[in-house]
Amino acid sequence: MTAVPDSNFAMALMRPRSLNPTKMLGRIFVYGCLVVLAALFLAPLASMVMTSLKSMDEIRSGTLLSVPQAPTIEAWASVWSSACISIACGGLKGYFGNSFLIAVPATLISVGLGALNGYVFSTRRFQGDNILFGLILFGCFIPFQIVLIPMAGLLGMLGLAGTIPGLVLVHVVYGVCFTTMFFRNYFVTVPAEIFKAARVDGAGFWAIFFRILLPISWPIVMVSIIWQFTGVWNDFLFGVSFAAGSNQPVTVAVNNLVNTSTGTKAYNEDMAAAMIAALPTIVIYVAAGRYFLRGLMAGAVKG
């Protein structure tokens, strides 16, 4: 190539692959965009953490993203143990416990049932099995408004209205649709020869499930547990519809704390309350983000 005065300009128009200045500019652009976007996505979390550590005076004198000059955990302590939520003034701690009492059994039962259902769907062919599976899948996606009225009636009939076991039941019923899908889609990838060989060796229904299938299924077990736990923990609609007073989950309590308080808004307490409600799922996300993402993807892309 001959050296001409405007060679830089010419180079910029050519294939970026072979020439450096354009490539450099491209890299700067890519990283610049990513850093700006990442900062925008992180800012709400940063503001939440910093605001929860400020006093109201400091909130008024500072800004969204100003670093607390005199950090205090007063807001955290108050919302955890003494803030007034509707009529009770015992803070969030009881509701936080409720969410565990709801989410742990609901997760274990729905994952257990889903594993068994998925096992049957993936190993037995029967008339209409695909239609049946489709009907279960559709159950994953219904707007729950359609079941609120009769479910309230059913819980009343069972004597479970307003209780924690009632909420566990609701979450198990609608969670089973998802866990069945997860396990079925995972188990159909297991080669059929394995089952045949096991059956020839005399292994029965349970032996195949517990000794052969479960030991190779821990990834999907993890995905299902994380999916169900975060789903139940983050639920608001069922909690607000079916749990009464001191049985409410933490999401409902946080909303009551933030949106029904009278007088001036205590944003530091709002942010501390939001942090407390978010902590378990954030911990799961940080510790097992890979499984969290796999659950999201499996919930989105079937088959």
Partner 1 sequence: MTLSKRIQAALPAFVLSPSLAAIAICVYGFIAYTALLSFTGSKMFAKFDFVGLRQYERLFDNPRWITAVENMAIFGGLYVVVATCLGLYIAVLIDQKIRLEGVFRAIFLYPMALSFVVTGVIWQWLLNPGLGLEHMVRSLGWQSFTFQWLVEPDWAIYTIVIAGVWQVTGFVMALFLAGLRGVDTEILRAARVDGAPVHKVYTRIVIPALRPVFLTAFVIEAHLAIKSYDLVVALTKGGPGVSTELPSTFMYSMTFTRNELGVGAASATVMLTSLAAIIVPYLYSELRDDRRA
The interface with partner 1 within residues 247-266 (CB under 8 A) comprises: 251-252, 254-255, 258-259, 265
Q: Minimum CB separation from partner 1 for residue 145, in Å? A: 4
Between residue 213 and residue 232, which ones bind partner 1 under the rule CB under 8 A?
230
Should residue 293 be labelled a site residue for partner 1 when binding is judged by CB under 8 A? yes
Out of 31, 73, 156, 192, name the contact with partner 1 by CB under 8 A. 31
Out of 98, 180, 217, 228, name the contact with partner 1 by CB under 8 A. 180
Closer residue to partner 1 in complex, CB, 35/88: 35
Cα separation, 142 vs 177, whole angstroms: 11
Between residue 72 and residue 91, which ones bind partner 1 under the rule CB under 8 A?
none
Backbone angles phi, psi at 87, to 5 degrees: -100, -20
Out of 141, 191, 193, 200, name the contact with partner 1 by CB under 8 A. 141
Cα separation, 192 vs 212, whole angstroms: 12
# binding residues, partner 1 (CB under 8 A): 97
Should residue 301 be labelled a site residue for partner 1 when binding is judged by CB under 8 A? yes
Out of 34, 73, 77, 197, name the contact with partner 1 by CB under 8 A. 34
Q: Minimum CB separation from partner 1 for residue 220, in Å? A: 17
Return the SS3 of 243: strand
Should residue 134 be labelled a site residue for partner 1 when binding is judged by CB under 8 A? yes
Should residue 291 be labelled a site residue for partner 1 when binding is judged by CB under 8 A? no
Out of 57, 60, 70, 263, name the contact with partner 1 by CB under 8 A. 60
Closest to 249 (Cα-Cα) out of 233, 225, 271 = 233
The region of 3-11, 59-67, 84-92, 210-218 touching partner 1 under the rule CB under 8 A is 59-67
Q: Residue holding tokens 């969030």? A: 92
Q: Residue holding tokens 């993203």? A: 65
Between residue 88 and residue 127, which ones bind partner 1 under the rule CB under 8 A?
113, 116-117, 119-121, 123-124
Between residue 182 and residue 201, which ones bind partner 1 under the rule CB under 8 A?
none
Between residue 142 and residue 171, which ones bind partner 1 under the rule CB under 8 A?
142-151, 153-154
Q: Are 192 and 198 in contact (CB under 8 A)?
A: no
- Using CA atoms, how far residue 206 sits from 144, 152, 167, in Å, is 34, 36, 30
Q: Are 53 and 78 in contact (CB under 8 A)?
A: no
Q: Minimum CB separation from partner 1 for residue 256, in Å? A: 10
Backbone angles phi, psi at 162, to 5 degrees: 75, 0
Closer residue to partner 1 in complex, CB, 164/169: 169
Q: Residue holding tokens 């001036």? A: 264
Instruction: Note every long-range contact of 55-64, with CB atoms under 8 Å and residues 24 or more positions apart, other chains counting.
Output: 55/268, 56/264, 56/266, 56/267, 56/268, 59/267, 59/268
Question: Largest Cα–Cα distance in the chain?
Answer: 89
